Amino acid sequence: MKMKTIKMPEQFSVQEAANFRDMTYNLLSDEPTSFELDFTACYFIDSTGLGVLVGLYKKCKEMNCSIVLKHLHKDVARVFSMTRLDQIFTIL
């Protein structure tokens, strides 16, 4: 299975979410792919960004792939905690 590392944008919101979804779904349509999402540069995520990540999580689960979120900044980590998504995603 292929592993793809993706550097997340500074702000993961409506503007970036559609392109991210298209890119990741295209990768999955080629072959099963696990994702390592690097949040080093990301300081903001909105509900659209969260929704795209949840959709990707579900699609990966169907295909027996995985998603790991790495290097979350405090404010981004707080959003995952408040929405309880920190209990679903693997966060390193």
Q: What is the pLDDT of residue 37?
A: 98
Residue 29: pLDDT band with limits 50, 70, 90 = confident
The answer, yes or no, to whether residue 20 has pLDDT greater than 90, is yes
The answer, yes or no, to whether residue 2 has pLDDT greater than 90, is no
CA angle, 26 as apex, 20 and 29 as ends, to 5°?
140
Higher pLDDT, 1 or 91: 91
The answer, yes or no, to whether residue 31 has pLDDT greater than 90, is no
CATH of domain 2-91: 3.30.750.24
The DSSP output letter for 14 is H
Q: For residue 82, what are the contacts with CB-CB under 8 A and spacing of at least 6?
A: none
The answer, yes or no, to whether residue 1 has pLDDT greater than 80, is no
